[in-house]
Every structure is written in C-alpha cells, then in structure tokens.
C-alpha cells in the first residue's frame, strides 16, 4: 500500500496513504459521530477531571519538544565572543531561567503579564529574539519561575540587569536587599549550604560581592548554552518535560493552575512547523532503509496504523542527516522562518 511520511527533527513516522472517501461516506461518519457524542455527553459531564495547567498532557509535551527540536535543528553552530574576551564554540541554543529573588507577593498571571512579557518585549527589541519557547513552573518554595529556550546568544549580565529592573518595579529586589542586609557571613553560608556541597570560601566570596553592590543585583537568572543535542536532551528532560507530580497537586496549586492559563508558549515562527505536510515515502527510500537497518542508533516503534523511527540527528551519517536538514531548511525558507546566520 502506498505510504506517506512525516519528518521531525527526532523521528520519521510512516503511515498508509488514505484513500479518498465519497461524500456519502463522510456524511454517514459525521452523523454517527454526532449521535455518539450526544449519547455519552450526559454520562461524562460529572466525571471530568479538574484541569490543572501545571500538569501538561503527553500531546502538549510532544508539541513543546517538537518546537524546541526545530529551533535547535535550524540553528547553525556559531562562535560567540563574550565581553570578557572568552569564546563559546558551537553555540546552538540558549537556556534561560528566570526566578524571583524574594517571596512571591503577586499572582502568577500578574507576573506573566507584567514581568515575563516585558522582558520578552525587550529581548525582541535588543537581541533579534525571534524564535523561542517559554514554560512556567512552580518551585519548591512555591514561587513561579520561567524557562526560555532561544537560538540567540544572551549576555548573562545584561539580561540579569533587565530582569532585576523589571522585578524591582514591584519591590522584589528591594525585599531581597532588606533580607540580605540583615545576614551575617555565617548565616549567609548556612543559607547557601543547605545541601552541604558549598564550601565556606565560596560563600565568603559571594557574600563580599553582594555587600559591595549593597545586594542590588541578585542572581535571579541562570543562562546556559547548548552545544550538542546531548545538551538539549538533558535540558528537556530536566526542565521542560517536568511538571507537578500528583502528590504535589494540592488544592492551592490546582487553583493556581486553573487561574494561570497556558503555562507555555512559543514564537509565531515555530507555529509554522505544526503541519509540515507529508512527503512520499518512495522519495525517502535511502533514509528509510538506513533507519530500518541501523538498530544501534535508531529506535523503531510500531503501532496499529504507523511505524516511527526515533533518532538523534547528530548521530546519523552525514549523507542521511544532510537530506533531513535540507528538507527542514527548505520548509523554513518557504514558510518565512527567520533563520539566523
């Protein structure tokens, strides 16, 4: 039977090509679907589970993963020279985490609209920040924080100053200053060394730097670079795939999740890849044959109506990865995706 394939940065899915259906057949199916929905509606209404935005579905995780994988695949390796003269080689993506330096006193929705959105506006204006994905998460201290993945390099000091300035409009840096100014060095070290892995000299250096700036520039962000798909995979597993476990879903977090709305979003540019269309399997015979035989580097998953090959693009031979990359770049140019060079 003729087949079509769907191509993503980490998998190729093969499905049988659908035969065209007659208008009568489509009409009958629509009527049957409507009847079934009416029959079960009255029985399912009282059994719907309460939705919580902080608990994302498998389908949502896949959409987030696909968006970030496309961002990474379309980002060519770059050499970044930092202001201190050091260089970052093979930079492909930036992982940015935004936190609150003091206890949260505004709603999650307020911080998303007034703080996160303001930073995104400034990054677009000053950093050519066009392709990105962000996701919100609750910390153990119940503060909200945000993870962002983008294909542009972001300077740590500059972004931290921007984020702290935005937060201090609502006194988060001020509250941090007031707390830290009251601590002695031993109290500060005890606060940093809760896991027992921070030595006293490290705490003393940080304490001295904090006092010299009057604690006006708290370390409220974290920035890391992705140089390989291994870095990307580790980040996705640790941060993006994570959501609240069922035992953490108390009434308060459930209410927060329902009020928060969407806990993730992405640039319009990445929405272009939700539907790539399908390619004819026969035109990809060489790639499919390789995937079938490469049992060490390609994982095969077979369902009732599909077969999927999962892989790491970095581990594929160049003649295979080149064809896949060429497909992505062709679609990106066709759809107006802003490629960075």
| Structure tokens, 211 | 């006092």
Residue 234, CB-side half-sphere exposure with 13 Å CA sphere: 9
pLDDT of residue 279: 77
Domains of the chain: 58-271 (3.30.70.1910)
CA 235 from centroid of its chain's CA atoms: 9
CB 3 within 8 A of CB 17: yes
- d(CA 25, CA 272) in angstroms, rounded, equals 32
Pick left, alpha or beta for residue 307 (phi over 0 → left; psi -120 to 50 → alpha; otherwise beta). Answer: beta
> Over the stretch 125-144, which tens digit does the pLDDT of each residue have?
999 999 999 999 888 788 99
Q: What is the dihedral sign for C-alpha 114, 115, 120, 125?
A: positive
Residue in this structure with the two tokens 């609502």, named with its chain if needed: 170
Q: Which two tokens stand for residue 281?
A: 């399997």
- Cα–Cα distance, 169 to 161 (Å, whole number): 13
Number of Cα atoms under 13 Å in the Cβ half of residue 271: 4
**pLDDT of 48:** 46
Q: Model confidence over 215-246: pLDDT tens digits?
A: 999 999 999 999 888 888 888 888 777 654 44
Helix (H, G, I), strand (E, B) or coil at 309: strand
Q: Which two tokens stand for residue 309?
A: 């090959």
C-beta separation of 35 from 96 below 8 A: no
Between CA 325 and CA 341 the distance in angstroms is: 15
pLDDT digits (tens, 9 = 90+) for 276-307: 767 777 889 999 999 999 999 999 999 988 89
Q: What is the pLDDT of residue 249?
A: 56
Structure confidence at residue 49 (pLDDT):
43
For 307, list phi and psi in degrees, rounded to 5. -135, 135
What whole-number distance in Å separates Cα of residue 128 and Cα of residue 147? 18
Average pLDDT over residues 110-135: 95
For residues 257 and 52, the answer to whether their CB atoms sit within 8 Å is yes
**pLDDT tens digit string along 37-88?**
655 444 444 434 455 556 778 888 889 999 999 999 999 999 988 888 889 9
């Amino acid at each position: 039977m003729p087949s079509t394939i769907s191509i993503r940065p980490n998998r190729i899915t093969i499905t049988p090509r659908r035969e065209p259906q007659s208008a009568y057949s489509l009409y009958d199916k629509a009527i049957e679907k409507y009847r079934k929905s009416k029959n079960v509606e009255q029985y399912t209404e009282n059994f719907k589970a309460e939705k919580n935005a902080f608990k994302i579905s498998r389908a949502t995780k896949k959409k987030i993963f696909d968006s970030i994988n496309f961002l990474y695949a379309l980002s060519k390796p770059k050499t970044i020279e930092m202001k201190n003269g050091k260089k970052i080689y093979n930079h492909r993506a930036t992982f940015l985490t935004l936190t609150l330096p003091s206890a949260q006193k505004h709603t999650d929705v307020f911080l998303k609209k007034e703080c996160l959105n303001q930073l995104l506006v400034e990054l677009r204006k000053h950093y050519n920040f066009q392709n990105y994905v962000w996701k919100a998460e609750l910390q153990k201290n119940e503060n909200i924080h945000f993870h962002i993945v983008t294909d542009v390099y972001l300077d740590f000091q500059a972004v931290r100053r921007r984020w702290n300035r935005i937060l201090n409009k609502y006194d988060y840096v001020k509250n941090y200053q007031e707390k830290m100014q009251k601590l002695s060095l031993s109290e500060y070290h005890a606060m940093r060394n809760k896991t027992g892995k921070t030595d006293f000299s490290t705490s003393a250096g940080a304490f001295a730097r904090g006092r010299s700036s009057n604690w006006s520039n708290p370390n409220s962000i974290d920035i890391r670079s992705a140089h390989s798909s291994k870095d990307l995979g580790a980040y996705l597993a640790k941060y993006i795939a994570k959501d609240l476990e069922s035992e953490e879903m108390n009434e308060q977090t459930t209410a927060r999740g329902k009020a928060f709305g969407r806990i993730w979003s992405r640039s319009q540019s990445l929405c272009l890849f939700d539907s790539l269309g399908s390619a004819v399997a026969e035109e990809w015979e060489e790639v499919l044959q390789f995937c079938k035989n490469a049992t060490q580097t390609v994982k095969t998953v077979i369902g009732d109506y599909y077969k999927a090959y999962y892989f790491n693009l970095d581990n594929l031979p160049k003649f295979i990865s080149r064809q896949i990359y060429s497909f992505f770049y062709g679609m990106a140019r066709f759809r107006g995706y802003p490629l960075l060079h």
